[in-house]
């Protein structure tokens, strides 16, 4: 390997290291205090198909000019990975991919067969969380990856006698994929990765530059690996601690007051009749992460507004709640929005806002066992997403 090539590789690896460090620092500065605790290891296996995708000229005159002298075949590929998830957005992945590239010529060359062993360190980005304020462990999300590594290239069948192996070349993997969370510890990964390899030896032909330096006519080649796999999360998902509730302070004992002098009893006031609607509770329910009213909720609130119009002396105590999924600060804001939706609907029906005492409780008062760390059904979560109104005098 020439001194120029060594210098070029060292410069590229240095740039990649700087990129990884800046990416890591940016993610932590951006998300501090906005997310649930999340710091887990992950291991995975995958299998799929690989194929040689062509060659690019990297000379100054024909930069990135594409050509392909072969009809490439789809062959079996496989891989393993170990990943460290630092946040809900950013992870580092050490990966190995193996395959054998084959193809038949369309011009004067012979069929080729090239063994591939790729070792890479990749940055992995959860794009669904990156573009969302709510950074959670999602059921479905899509990701991108960018990394650097080395590829072991072994030309088994080749045309040019100067092309043989094994050789090791600097590689840049770029990928995208979709993940479906099957459970807290098991994920299905569907993805594809394009690997740019700093060589012209993948198709068994030396088209120029010998794959060593960026000379005039130098060629670089790449291949595609599309896969499906399973990954396993190690350890338990962290659970944020329950909020600390301070005990109420004891009230001071009142000082004894002097006995009042008897006064003539005032005339008895007219007997008060309590409206029949006092003590009645009206409930409306909401969809996950929503605060808009559905037709059933509006019908219930129409009945409540009618009672208040017929009884102007009554008022309302209104309490809004959320289920335990998501950050507590986010759920508190969500329940404030739910209470506002109910209040806006009643005021639109002619009910004065001064007659309503609205309070938001977030996820702190579930009606069942569904607190943080407890796995529940969707129906059990649904009964906690509610706004309750109590008619009082």
- 315-320 and 386-392 beta bridge pairing: antiparallel
Residues 6+ apart with CB under 8 A from 377: none
Distance CA 95, CA 187 (A): 17
**Distance, CA of 112 to chain centre:** 42
Ranges in the chain, pLDDT < 70: 1-38, 60-62, 162-165, 207-217, 237-242, 272
Q: Comparing 8-26+34-233 with 281-392, is the CATH topology the same?
A: no
- pLDDT tens-place string over residues 173-200: 999 999 999 998 899 999 999 999 988 8
pLDDT tens digit sequence for 99-138: 999 998 887 888 889 999 999 999 999 999 888 888 888 8
- Torsion of the alpha carbons at 231, 183, 188 and 151, rounded to the nearest 10: -20
Shortest CA distance to 37 belongs to which of 184, 238, 243, 235? 238
Domain range summary for the chain, segments of one domain joined by +: 8-26+34-233, 281-392
Q: Which two tokens stand for residue 38?
A: 């999340």
Q: What's the burial of 152, exposed, middle or buried (CB within 10 Å: 0-12/13-18/19+)?
A: middle
Check: CB of residue 74 under 8 Å from CB of residue 98: no
Domain 281-392, classified CATH 3.30.1330.60, yes or no:
yes
The top-level CATH class assigned to 8-26+34-233 is mainly beta
Q: Of the candidates 109, 94, 196, which has an alpha carbon nearest to the alpha carbon of residue 160?
A: 109
What is the reported pTM? 0.52
Structure tokens given for 313? 């002396």
């Amino acid at each position: 390997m020439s001194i120029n090539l060594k210098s070029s590789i060292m410069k590229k690896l240095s740039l990649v290291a700087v990129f990884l460090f800046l990416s890591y620092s940016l993610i932590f500065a951006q998300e501090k205090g906005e997310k649930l605790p999340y710091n887990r290891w992950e291991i995975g296996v995958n299998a799929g198909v690989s194929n040689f995708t062509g060659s690019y000229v990297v000379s100054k005159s024909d930069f990135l000019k594409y050509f392909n002298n072969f009809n490439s075949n789809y062959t079996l590929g496989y891989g393993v990975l170990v990943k460290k998830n630092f946040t809900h957005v950013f992870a580092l992945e050490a990966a190995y991919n193996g395959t054998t590239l084959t193809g038949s010529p369309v011009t004067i060359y012979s069929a080729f067969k090239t063994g591939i062993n790729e070792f890479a360190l990749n940055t992995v980005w959860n794009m669904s969380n990156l573009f969302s304020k709510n950074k959670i462990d999602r059921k479905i999300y899509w990701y991108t990856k960018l990394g650097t590594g080395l590829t072991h290239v072994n030309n088994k069948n080749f045309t040019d006698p100067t092309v043989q192996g094994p050789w090791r070349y600097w590689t840049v993997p770029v990928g995208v994929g979709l993940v479906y969370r099957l459970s807290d510890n098991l994920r299905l990964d569907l993805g594809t990765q394009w690997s740019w390899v700093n060589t012209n030896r993948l198709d068994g032909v030396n088209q120029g530059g010998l794959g060593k330096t960026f000379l005039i006519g130098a060629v670089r080649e790449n291949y595609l690996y599309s896969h499906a796999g399973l990954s396993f999360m190690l350890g338990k998902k962290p659970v944020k601690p329950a909020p600390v509730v301070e005990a109420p302070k004891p009230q001071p004992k009142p000082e004894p007051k002097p006995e009042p002098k008897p006064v003539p009893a005032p005339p008895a006031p007219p007997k008060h009749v309590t409206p029949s609607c006092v003590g009645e509770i009206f409930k409306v329910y909401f969809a996950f992460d929503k605060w808009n009213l559905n037709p059933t909720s509006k019908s219930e609130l129409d009945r409540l507004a009618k009672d208040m119009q017929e009884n102007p002396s009554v008022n309302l105590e209104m309490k809004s709640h959320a289920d335990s999924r998501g950050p507590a600060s986010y759920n508190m804001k969500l329940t404030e929005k739910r209470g506002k939706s109910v209040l806006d609907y009643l005021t639109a029906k002619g009910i004065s806002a001064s007659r309503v005492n609205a309070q938001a409780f977030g996820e702190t008062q579930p009606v069942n066992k569904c607190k943080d760390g407890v796995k529940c059904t969707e129906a059990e979560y649904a009964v906690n997403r509610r706004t309750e109104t109590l008619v009082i005098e």
